[in-house]
Every structure is written in structure tokens, then in C-alpha cells.
Structure 1
Amino acid sequence: MNNIILITKREFLTQVKKKSFVILTLLAPLLIIAFGAVIGLMFKANESHNIIEVVDNSGLFKNELKSTDKLEYKIIPSAEEKSTISNLKGNETLDGILILPQIQNGNYDEFQKNTRLIVNTKIGFDTKQRIISDLSDVIKKEKIKQLGIAETQIDDLDKGFTLKTINVSENNKEDSDLALGVKSVLSMLLMYVTFMFIIIYGVRVMRSVLEEKNNRVVEIIISSVKPFELMMGKILGVTFVALTQFIVWISMSVVGALVLNTGFSSMQKNIPGGEEAMSKLDITQIATQVSHSLLELNFPLIIFVFIVFFLLGYIFYSSIYAAIGSAVDNETETQQFTLFAVLPLMLGMYGSFSFINNPDGPLGFWLSIIPFTSPVAMIARIPYGVPAWQIALSIVLLLGTTLFMVFLAGKIYRVGILMYGNKATLKEIWKWIRG
């Protein structure tokens, strides 16, 4: 036990003292934000401002087509139609001309057939759809007038129906659509983080084992400690490295959220009429509802399940990666074995997408119970609420399977760590396990 603690301490300190770890831990959240900002700027940079001149022979659209920052309409007289079309090619100040014919006897089908958009450049799909939408809205209003129906009546007919859902199994708590959306986002976020960390740090364990094996350092180390102690020390050491990054990132997120919230509140107070203006925005109301939905979640249980399943899942798969690293001589050979570790995790991750529609369905139950998929599936289900007996059963099965996998990996590690120049096959590895 003392040897495992010493190796864990050594592995942990070796990893956290690296400049790359410090830089990645401190800058990763900022890099992710910066990356998102760059993507947003790229989309913004690719946006264009289109100017479309409109020849309205119908007289219906003159004051109805509203310009935006991306699409500008300019109504021109019908007499200028031919000259504008002839001068359109090569005109850098005009992107196109929209020809709207007369509407004969309310025949809008014929109007649609004869409507043309002549352009001198390639306009975007969203711009074309915006023009279609603007024309459709005007035609719809005109049809409503001809039918003698007031727009207020149409708005009343278009009103949606809100269904209030009361969950008796959760103390008659009301389930809103927004609360379901918050749970879905939190579910996918926790699941994806767990999936990525298990793979990233599992591969790190495998590479560490492979590096020491190729450098023959392991021959010196195992003269003092048992192979199983060395393997467990490596796994636990990297586990604490992952937890350290988690703690730092969560702390940075909490501090950042508090700073942004304080700054936002002070900005409202310092701007004349700021509080009143912001209170009218839907985004403020949505943010408040999201906050309430988050506060209603059972965070102590969510955090407990997340930590337990992350740690057990990480140890489970890291033992597989450690066994793979000890059984091969180079990273190229790892590809034929790592598939066995990645596929179950991917199955659990993609299967978890169905939880949005039915978190308590048979697929959700079995994926969160089977140990190969439960580390990601149970974490994805927990924001929706999971019965205590299912959580307990899943933990017991995952714990037992993890201990068994560590035992098997230890047997492979014990033989494979000293094997050189012998390409391991599944048949060979099975002999090591049986031996």
C-alpha cells in the first residue's frame, strides 16, 4: 500500500509540475471562450449586406418591405426597370433587382410564377429565404384583409397552447419546457466532459506506461515494487491530476460567473433607466427562469453521482489503457486494442442523446446499469432524476466490474510490461490472463 501511495505521489507531481499542465489548466477555459469568439467572428465576417432594388408593379409592397442590417430594400419606379436590369451587371453598389408583377383578380399563384429576382452576384441562402419570407408575410396580410378577418383574430388563432405538467412523484413539482431544456443541456455537458476526460487521461496513462517500457525504466522500478502496485500508482496519480484540473476549472467558472453577474448588475444601475430597460428584455426573464430551474435541481446528488461515476469509470477504463500500453511496443500497435475501450464509451454517449425524449425508458435504464456504459449514461440521466435503487445498483455493479478489470489488467500488466519485441495478440493476452 505504501508503494502505491509513493508511486501515486510521484506520478501526480510529475504531471502537475509540467509547464504544459499549468498552462493548459489555467488557459484552457480562456482558450475555449476565445475559440468560441473566433468562430462567432468568422461567421460575422462572412455576413454580407445585400441591396435589392424593388420594382413593385402591384403597388402592394411599397411600404411593407422592411430593411434590416443584412438586407436593404429600395423601391424604384416601374419605368426604371429595363435600364436598371441592363446596368445591373458589374454594378458594385447593387446586388439585385426584384420584379413584382401586377396581381390580376387576386390570382397570387400567377403572381408567384411571374415574380423574378435578378442578381449580379451569388446571394446567400438565408438572404433568399428572407426575401421569400417578407413577400409571404405581405401576401398573407392582404389575403386576410380580403377575407374580412382582423389581424387580431388571426393572432388569436395562432396562439399556442401551454400545458402545465405536474409530477406527483416529485412532490407535485411543475415541469416546464425551460426546466427540461436546462436539464438536457446540463445532462449533455456532464456526459461529454466525462467522456472526454476518460479518453484523454486514459490515453495519458497508456502513453506513460509505454514510454517507461520502451525506455527500460520499468525494469529498475519493478525491482523495488510489484507490477500491480506500479500500475495502480500510475492510474491513481493521473486520477488526481484530472481532479485537480476539475477543481481549478470549476473554481474559475464560479468566480467568473460571480464577477460577470456583479458587473452586469452594476452596469444596469449606472445606466439611466438601465434596470427598467433590462427588465423589459426577454433575455433577462429567460436568465431568471434558467437560474430558478438550476436551483431546483438536486445538486448534492448530481455532484455525488458525477464524482463517483467519473472516478470509477476512469479507473475502469484506465486499467484497460494501462494493460494495452504494457502489451504493445509502440503507439501504432495500440490502435488495434484501443477500439475495445472507445466503442463502449461511444455507445453510452450516443445512446444518451435519446434521454432527452425518454430518460426513464428501457434504453436509459440498461445503459446506466451496464458497467461499460454507465459512467457516461448515468451521469447523463441524473439531472432528470433517477430512483435511488437504480443509482445504488449501478454503483455496485460498476465497482465490482472495476475491481475485476483492475485484477485482469494487473495480470496482463505483470507479463506484458517486461515483454519486448513480441507482438501481442488477443490469443497471447488471453494466455497471460489465464496464467
Structure 2
Amino acid sequence: MNDRTLDRPWVLIAEREITTKLRDKTFIGSTLVMLIVVLAAVILPALLAGGSGPDKIAVIDDGGAAVVQRASKTQGGDGYEALRVADQAAAERAVTDTDASVALLPGPDGYVLVGKDKVGSETGVALRAAVAEVGMEKNAGAVKLTPEQLRAGTQVTEKILEPGPLPGYVSDFVNIGLALVFYMTALGFGMMIAQSVVQEKESRVVEILAASVPIRSLLWGKVLGNTVLALSQILVIAIASVIGLTATDQLDILSVVAPVAGWFVVFFVLGFVALAGLWAVAGSLATRQEDLGSTTLPGQMILMIPFFFAVFAGSEAREIASFIPIASSMSMPGRMLTEDVPLWQPLAAIGILLVATVLIIRLGARLYERTLLKTGRRLGYREALALEAG
């Protein structure tokens, strides 16, 4: 310990918070579980989508094989694979034995799709479209038309008036992921802050600390230490996500998410600091671990309601939420991924959140000073405010 640390006791408290958590098996275990969940969420969908290989379609002639090849080409090159068999009976056995998903057999007016208990809608649509294309090209050749002449004027292209930076399903997934990271991290660390304060009160350690260090320094140290830990945990999660995206060849998602990452960190830090002060107050109001259910309820509601807005609300409601303090930490980064958000909006949201964070942390500090050494019974927020006013 040096003189500079003594001049800044909150640094000493922050170091104590960090080293205590890093030795906590529960904290380490929860971080490992979160890493496993993140890796599974990134890797498993890609493995399930691409690990089973192309669907096999049983055929008995070159015509059927040509149709399957056309359908496969439409699906990206490896969607379907023709399984050549000797005759119709062999094709039906391949379907019932699940060697093939369906069979494509010649019929009186084209082809017949044979399935075991049903024909998958995606497979049916792809094969019907391929049969139509191959059949029209064959018929066009009979009247001396080229495939290009046959298709003239039939191409349909798309024009998106308000394109998002990511495909819809990907942007929704990432939007939920960002909101969930903030929600889970703020809730997990918030409960740890409240529990730490109560443990110190129950063991009377807080009285020793308060005799050596200003109470506000205790609060600043807890907020700083847990903010550093939370950011470190998010960094580890981000590294795990990059590893998962690299392993599954999904780096195109990373190229879009990366520019928003800096904004997310700013919103996260401001929102987390404000909430950390409230969680510390929730701990100071309690005298036993059992009291935390009621004292932390407001903090849980402050987190839960914005989370549902960020994930499930419509675009207009989410836009409003992206300017409301705390809610903006979950809504604005997601909007920046899914919409074309003008620069002034995140800047304005950060300004509002910064002012709110300063006000919340100042109020939290006053309540913390006046309730930390109160023992004997649980205090309510109204009573704490009255103590502050007095």
C-alpha cells in the first residue's frame, strides 16, 4: 500500500472487491457457465444447420437426378443429393428406411413425391419448382427456344426501401443478445453487490471499514470494482463469441456488430454505474440476507421492464425507450443494429443517461451514508429518504 492509495481509499476498496470476487468459486463458476452458454448459442445453430449434410432424394432415372440437381443448385449448391436406386419399390424402401427423405418418381403427368409420413414443405416447394424449370426448358427445346428466351421477362428482384444492416432473423437475435447481456450482467453483479453489503453488515466488518474509510469511498470502491469486473466478464464473452463466429465461418456478423460495440460499452458503463449505486443502497437497507428479496425488488423491476421493452416492444415503443435512462442501455444499441439511427439520437441518449447516472449515484450515495450503519431491522426506501431529508 502506497501513499497514493491511502489518498484514494476507494481504490483500495475496489481492489478488495476485485480480488475477493476472483477468489469466489461461485463467481468463477457462473462466468464459466455463461461462456459455455454463449459458445453454444453461437456454434450449435451453425452445426445443426450444416452438420447433417444434404437431404437425399431417391430417384430411378436421369430425369429425376436432373431435377434434384436443379433443386440443389437453387438451395445453394448442396441442399439435396440424388440417391439412385433400381426401381420404384427400392425407392419406397429407401424412404421407409430413412435412407432418403423423399422419393421423386415418374408419374402419369410429371413426377410423384413419395414421403414416409409427410413431405417437408421446404423440400416439396424446392422440388416442384425444379420440376417446373426442367420441364419448361425441355418443352422450350422442342419449339427451338433457349432457356434465356423462355425466361425473358419472368425475373423478380427485390428492392428494400429501409434496409437494416443485418438480415431480419440475425438482427433480432443480436438485439436480444445485447439486451440479455446487459440484463444478466447488471442483475448478477447487482445482487452480488447487495449481498456483499449485507454480509459486511452482519459480520460487523462494515463498522471497521467505516472507521478507517469514508462511507462514500466504500460505495465508490464497490461501484468501481464491480464495474471493472463486469466489463472484464463482457470482454471474455466477446472473445468467446469471436472464437465461435470464427469456428463457424460467421465473421460477416462480426463485421456488422463491431462498430456498435463501442456504443454498447458506453451505454453499459453508464447504466451499470447508476444501477450499482442502487444495488448498494438495497444492501444497506437490509440487515439480513432474507431482507434482500424486498429491498432489491425495485432494482429488479428497473431492469426487467426495460428488458421486455427492448426485446418485445414495437418499433415506436422501443424508440421511446431508447431515450429513457437505463432502458436506453438495452434499447439503443439494438436499434443501431436493426435500424438506420441518426447520429444525434445515440448522442442525445448518452447525454440523458449521463445526467441521470450522476443524479442517481448522488442520491444513492446519500442514502448509503445514512443507512449503512443502521442495524436491527430492515429499512424501507421511504424511511431512508426521510432519514436523508433529516
TM-score interval (norm. to shorter): 0.5 to 0.7
Once residues 250 and 116 of structure 1 are traced to their aligned partners in structure 2, the CA distance between those partners, rounded to angstroms, is: 46
- Tell me which of 322, 346, 352 is aligned to 1:368: 322
Does residue 135 in structure 1 map to residue 110 in structure 2?
no
Which residue number corresponds to residue 192 of structure 2? 204
Q: Is the 8 A contact 2:10 2:217 kept in 1?
A: yes
Offset, 1:43:
6.4
Q: Is the 8 A contact 1:194 1:310 kept in 2?
A: yes
Does residue 14 in structure 1 map to residue 20 in structure 2?
yes
Does residue 230 in structure 1 map to residue 218 in structure 2?
yes
What does 1:107-122 align with in structure 2 at a 5 Å threshold? 115=112, 117=114, 119=116
Which residue number corresponds to residue 218 of structure 1? 206
What does 1:223-372 align with in structure 2 at a 5 Å threshold? 223-245=211-233, 303=262, 305-328=263-286, 329=288, 330=290, 331-333=292-294, 336-347=297-308, 349-350=310-311, 354=315, 364=319, 366-372=320-326
Once residues 238 and 376 of structure 1 are traced to their aligned partners in structure 2, the CA distance between those partners, rounded to angstroms, is: 19
> TM-score w.r.t. structure 2 length?
0.67
Which residue number corresponds to residue 102 of structure 1? 108
Which residue number corresponds to residue 160 of structure 1? 157
Once residues 344 and 412 of structure 1 are traced to their aligned partners in structure 2, the CA distance between those partners, rounded to angstroms, is: 24
Which residue number corresponds to residue 147 of structure 2? 151
Offset, 1:343:
2.7
Flag the 1:429–1:141 CA change in 2: closer, same or farther, 3 A.
farther
Offset, 1:347:
4.7
Once residues 71 and 18 of structure 1 are traced to their aligned partners in structure 2, the CA distance between those partners, rounded to angstroms, is: 53
Q: Is the 8 A contact 2:83 2:100 kept in 1?
A: no
Q: Is the 8 A contact 2:179 2:311 kept in 1?
A: no
Residue deviations 1:321-359 (CA, integer Å, cap 9, x gap): 2222222332544563343221344155327884xxxxx
Which residue number corresponds to residue 349 of structure 2? 394
Q: Is the 8 A contact 1:198 1:314 kept in 2?
A: yes
Residue deviations 1:209-245 (CA, integer Å, cap 9, x gap): 2332333322332233343332222111211223444
- 2:365 maps to amino acid: G
> TM-score w.r.t. structure 1 length?
0.61
Percent identical across equivalent pairs? 21
Which residue number corresponds to residue 75 of structure 2? none
Q: Is the 8 A contact 2:322 2:331 kept in 1?
A: yes
- 2:18 maps to amino acid: F
Flag the 1:69–1:118 CA change in 2: closer, same or farther, 3 A.
closer
Q: Is the 8 A contact 1:326 1:416 kept in 2?
A: yes
- 1:317 maps to amino acid: L
- 2:353 maps to amino acid: L
Once residues 225 and 430 of structure 1 are traced to their aligned partners in structure 2, the CA distance between those partners, rounded to angstroms, is: 24
Once residues 95 and 268 of structure 2 are traced to their aligned partners in structure 1, the CA distance between those partners, rounded to angstroms, is: 62
Residue deviations 1:2-58 (CA, integer Å, cap 9, x gap): 33333223223333455777788799768844674456556677x4887665578xx
Flag the 1:382–1:37 CA change in 2: closer, same or farther, 3 A.
closer
Offset, 1:311:
2.1
Flag the 1:347–1:98 CA change in 2: closer, same or farther, 3 A.
closer
Once residues 415 and 142 of structure 1 are traced to their aligned partners in structure 2, the CA distance between those partners, rounded to angstroms, is: 83
Q: Is the 8 A contact 1:326 1:417 kept in 2?
A: yes
Residue deviations 1:258-277 (CA, integer Å, cap 9, x gap): xx89xxxxxxxxxxxxxxxx
- Tell me which of 60, 67, 74 is aligned to 1:64: 67
Which residue number corresponds to residue 274 of structure 1? none
Offset, 1:369:
2.7
Flag the 1:162–1:136 CA change in 2: closer, same or farther, 3 A.
closer
Which residue number corresponds to residue 377 of structure 1? 331
Flag the 1:3–1:97 CA change in 2: closer, same or farther, 3 A.
closer
Offset, 1:320:
1.6
Which residue number corresponds to residue 172 of structure 1? none
Which residue number corresponds to residue 372 of structure 2? 417
Q: Secondary structure at the match of 1:158?
A: coil
Flag the 1:350–1:92 CA change in 2: closer, same or farther, 3 A.
closer
Q: Is the 8 A contact 2:195 2:283 kept in 1?
A: yes
